[in-house]
Structure 1
Amino acid sequence: MKTLKYIIILISYLSLSASSCKKDKTGIDALPAATQEGKNTFGCLVNGEVFIARSRTGFGPPYFACEYGFNSETNSFRFYLRGSDRIQSSNRNTIIISFNGISLISGTRLDIRELQDGYANAIYFKTSIDEFNTNATSKGEITITKLDESKRIISGTFWFDAVNETGEKVEVREGRFDMSYR
């Protein structure tokens, strides 16, 4: 009789445990961790919605990329970071942050504005024809938290505001990346 009680209690406990639903992470909790190991992660919040760049599957372009190095043609350093969040759709949301003429070290913090030497530029593509750009008034910031040139790892954080040609604004917040670069 005691054994039967324990079995019933155990079955009840297991049933309750199995039926409890796991909550999906939302907001900042859903973003990839802010690592510095070259894990190829890229994520942020776009107008409060989670944006996570995915790795490539099958054919087509990669969905994130990072480049940093000296460009002998322009005789300056170049940084390029891109992430897209939709793998199966032709209307991928894409974020690009780039700059020229700046040699990086860990701890470098740059203003994001219009693209010119000394500043970074950011673009958010909502669709292939709806482009939001940073400029002199819609700005942001990128911080390089780690640069390991021997392992070719670059990590950092970013945020920015950008506008399209009709004046509509997009807010990108809590951005983070941890990339192996070419």
Structure 2
Amino acid sequence: MKNSILTILTSLILILSISCSKDESCENPIECLPAKTSTGEGTFGCLVNGKAFVEKNDYFNCYYQFVDDGFYFSLSAEDENQIISQIIIGSVKSKIEEGEKYNLSENSEGNHYGECSVNLNEHYDVTTKSGGFGFLEITKFDEEKRIVSGIFEFDIINPETGEIIKIREGRFDTLFTM
């Protein structure tokens, strides 16, 4: 009986120490981000104005589909970042290919875009603009295994102050649905 209780207590301490170490703030925010991988790990992370934004698999979703004579890509992730609660990277009637780098612009036909749910005094959905800074680079695209990986960076404008919100060091590696 004592051995069972001791085993349970040891297991609980180990679980708590692992979960606490994941929640601690990193000295260098980049260290909080997931590694750049290309095996369908189900990871997403970036820096939002220098603070880590990391998907915790609560909402993570990715698809690449052919609909209405065009390809649509969407990757969405959530975190409890102070400013941004959701980030979406996508394309509208535009293919994605391994090794290609795309400018992020308007959320409209033929384009790739970045979009954020911004939570300030009110809730806003803000999308990248044509001529603004932003890119998506697909580092792995395996349609057979349904793996997509990439890196991204973009700016959006704070709708209340007009200041630039900088999304940097973005990376993802996940499986997608068709």
Q: Same fold (TM over 0.5)?
A: yes
Mapped contact 1:38–1:180 kept (Cα < 8 A): yes
Please give the per-residue CA displacement for 1:46-65, whole angstroms capped at 9, x wherever unaligned. Answer: 00000001112xxxxxx211
- The correspondence of residues 6-155 of structure 1 with structure 2, limited to 5 A, is 24-56=26-58, 63-71=59-67, 74-86=68-80, 93-127=85-119, 129-155=123-149
The root-mean-square deviation of aligned C-alpha atoms, in Å, is 2.4
Structure 1 segments unaligned to the other structure (5+ residues): 1-21, 57-62
The percentage of counterpart residues that share the same residue type is 36
Q: C-alpha distance in 2, partners of 1:158/1:25?
A: 23
Q: TM-score, normalised by structure 2?
A: 0.76
Which protein shows a greater Rg? 1
Unaligned runs of 5+ in 2: 1-23
Go from structure 1 to structure 2 and tell me whether the alpha carbon gap of 1:70 and 1:48 turns closer, same or farther (over 3 Å shift): same
Query: What is the distance in 1 between the residues matched to 2:130 and 2:84?
Result: 26
Q: For 1:36, what is the secondary structure of its paired residue?
A: coil
Superposition deviation, residue 30 in structure 1: 1.4
TM norm structure 1: 0.75
1:162 aligns with 2:164: no
Mapped contact 1:51–1:85 kept (Cα < 8 A): yes
* Residue 14 of structure 2: aligned partner: none
Which residue of structure 2 aligns with residue 17 of structure 1? none
Distance in 2, Cα, partners of 1:23 & 1:75? 45
Moved over 3 A (4+): 22-25
Q: 8 Å contact 2:94–2:112 — kept in the other structure?
A: no
